Structure 1
Amino acid sequence: MEKRLANPVVSADAPATDPRPYALGYSSHELQRLELQGALIRDFTEDVLRRAGIRPGMRVLDVGCGVGDVSLLAAKLVGPRGMVLGVDRSADATAMAERRAVETGRCYWTRFATEDLDAFACDETFDAVIGRLVLMYLPDPSATLRRLVGHVRPGGIVAFQELAMPLTRSFPEGPLFSRCVSWISDTIERAGFEIDMGSRLPMTFAAAGLPAPQMISAGLAGSGPASPLYNYISQTLRSLLPMAERLGIATAEEIGIDTLAERLCREAVEQRSCVMTPPLVGAWTTMPGWWDAARVE
C-alpha cells in the first residue's frame, strides 16, 4: 500500500525567498550535470548517511534535493518501511527526481515537493533532515537550518555534506586547471554564495543551536586520459558560463568550453598530474532531547 507522505505547505510567517539567482542555473544541461555529479560522489554521500545513522524505517527530509540523488540514496537506506521527502525550489529538478524514483522502484516511499526552503513547512515530524551542497547557497544557512530542524524529533539526525573549494588542487600545478578553479570559485563567490561551507559546518551547526557534529572529509582525485574529472570540470563551467560572463569573470571565448575537457586532459597527461577536486566535508549530529520545535521560528 502506498504511504501517505508529508503534505508541504507554505508558512505565512516564512522569511522572504532568496532573490539571488542560482549561479549554475536550471537548464536541462545543468540537470544532466547534477546526475553526473551524483554518480561521481554517490559513495561519499552514502558513507556520511550511514555514519550519521540513517537506517531502515526512518522518515527523512532531504532539503535542496535537486534531481533526487541524495533522496534516492536515503530511500535505499530507509527501505519501504521508511519515507523520504525531497524539497527543491526547481520544478524541473523535482520532476526529474520523481521520474528517477519511478525508474528505481522507490517511488512508493519517496516523494518530492517544489518549494523554496525559506518558505517550506509541513505537518510531519521526521527522524532526520539531510542535505548535500545546499547550505552554501543559502543567504543565512544557520537560520534556515535552525528552522528546518524544527521538523526533526528530539534525538533525530541532522546530516549535511558541503564543499571546501579552497582545497582544490593539482600536482604538478597545471595552468589551465588553475584557471578553471579560479573561474569556478570566483563566479560562485561573486554571485554571493559560500565557497568554503564545508569548513564552516561546525560554526553553522552551533549557530543553529545544534551540538558539535562528527565529521569526515573525502574527495575525488584522478590522472591519466580515462579520468572523468576533466569532463566534470568542463560541465560545471558550462553551467556557470552565463553567470561568469554576467559578472565579467570570463568570456565564452576565454573558456573555450567545447574543447575544455580535451585540453584539461592533455595538460594532466603531459604533466602526469594528480587532479583533486574540492573535498566534500560531511557533518552529522543528533537533535538535543530537550529540543522544542515550537521554539524554532
Structure 2
Amino acid sequence: MADVAERVHRYILDGDDADLRRLLGIAEVSADMARDGFRRAGVAEGWRALDCGCGPIGGLAVLAELVGPTGRVVGVDIAPATVARARQVTAELGLDTVEVVDGDLHRLDADRLGGPFDVAFSRLFLMHQPDPVATLRRIGALLRPGGMLVLQEPVRAVPPAAHPPLAALGAYWALLHDVMESAGAAHDAAADLPRSAVAAGLEIVHQGGSFGVVSPETGLALHAGTVAAARARVAAAGGPVDRIDALAEEIRAADPSDHDWVSSPFFLDLLLRRPA
C-alpha cells in the first residue's frame, strides 16, 4: 500500500473537489494528534480498528496507514449522506482496507461490524451524545478484552483562538455548543469524559490534552468552513442561521496577515482500556 499520508497530502494540493480538500485539510491538521494517540494505544499492522462517528473522513486515513494492508478499519456514521461521502473519499484515496457502515453505533452489534475490535477511536463524536456513559459502555462492548479506546474530544470552555484575538472564533464555538445542547447533547460532555469513562467500566491508561496551532491562512479557512458546514445542523435545530452566516463571513473576511497564528479548540486526549 502506498503511503496514505502522502496520498492525502497530494489530494489537498492537486484534487479537483474543493469540499474534499477542506475535509482532508481538517484531517491532516489533526493527523499528528491522532497518530500520537494511536501509538500510545499500540496500534500495529493487522489490527482491527473502529472509528466511531467517522464523518466524511475522521481518523480513517491515519488508521488505514497504521494497520496496513493486513488490518481492517470500519467507520460508522448515522447520517446516510455522510456515509456516502466517506465511501467516496476512501475510494478516491484508494483505502481498500476501510469499510464505512451506515447506522447507529448504539444499535449495531460487533458481528455486523466485523468485530470485536483491537482499538476504537472517537473524535468530535461524544460531544454530540445525550448519554456519554451509555455511549462509552457501548463502544467498550465492541472491543476485545484488553482493547483500547482513543478519545480526542474538544472541551467547550477552551475555544479556538487567534493572536491577535478574533472574537468570531469563540462566538461560533459557543453557538455550536448551545445548538448541540438544545438538540439533546450532554452539557460539555468532553470535559466530563474521565468521570464518564470510569462510570462506563473502562480503565484510564493516559490522560492529556493539546491544541493544534496552524498558520492563519490555513486556520481561518478551516474554521470558516466548519462554521459553514454547521449551517444545516443549526437550521435543523431551529438555531440562529443568520448569526451562523454572519460568523462564517466574519472569519472568512479576516486577513491572515493580521494574525500570527490560529489554533484549534482544546482537545482532551484520553486512552482507555476495556478490562481484560
Q: Which residue of 1 is the match for residue 110 of structure 2?
A: 122
| C-alpha contact (below 8 Å) 2:156/2:174 kept by paired residues | no
User: Using the alignment, how far apart are the partners of 1:250 and 1:29 within structure 2?
Assistant: 26
Which amino acid is the alignment partner of residue 138 of structure 2? R
Which amino acid is the alignment partner of residue 236 of structure 1? T
Q: How is 1:156-175 mapped onto 2 (pairs within 5 angstroms)?
A: 156-168=147-159, 169-175=161-167
| C-alpha contact (below 8 Å) 1:87/1:114 kept by paired residues | yes
Return the offset for 1:98.
2.3
Unaligned runs of 5+ in 2: 1-16
Is 1:40 aligned to residue 29 of structure 2?
A: yes
Identity %: 28
User: Using the alignment, how far apart are the partners of 1:136 and 1:251 within structure 2?
Assistant: 21
Distance change (3 Å), C-alpha of 1:187 and 1:154? same
User: Using the alignment, how far apart are the partners of 1:208 and 1:132 within structure 2?
Assistant: 18
Which amino acid is the alignment partner of residue 239 of structure 1? A
Q: Which residue of 2 is the match for residue 9 of structure 1?
A: none
Unaligned runs of 5+ in 1: 1-27, 290-297
Is 1:284 aligned to residue 271 of structure 2?
A: yes
| C-alpha contact (below 8 Å) 1:214/1:283 kept by paired residues | yes
Secondary structure, counterpart of 2:50 in structure 1: strand
Aligned residues: 256
Q: Which residue of 1 is the match for residue 81 of structure 2?
A: 92
Q: Which residue of 2 is the match for residue 196 of structure 1?
A: 188
Return the offset for 1:219.
1.6
What is the CA RMSD across the aligned residues, in angstroms? Answer: 2.9
| Higher relative contact order, structure no. (Cα contacts within 8 Å, ≥ 6 residues apart) | 1
Q: If the length of structure 2 is used for normalisation, what is the TM-score? A: 0.79
Q: Which residue of 1 is the match for residue 59 of structure 2?
A: 70
User: 1:65-121: per-residue Cα shift (whole Å, max 9, x none)?
Assistant: 1123312211110111111111111222222222332333321x2212111112111
Return the offset for 1:253.
6.5
Return the offset for 1:39.
2.7
Q: Which residue of 1 is the match for residue 250 of structure 2?
A: 260
Return the offset for 1:55.
1.0
Secondary structure, counterpart of 1:167 in structure 2: coil
| C-alpha contact (below 8 Å) 2:52/2:77 kept by paired residues | yes
Q: Which residue of 2 is the match for residue 5 of structure 1?
A: none
Which amino acid is the alignment partner of residue 117 of structure 1? L
Distance change (3 Å), C-alpha of 1:256 and 1:82? same
User: Using the alignment, how far apart are the partners of 2:20 and 2:274 within structure 1?
Assistant: 33
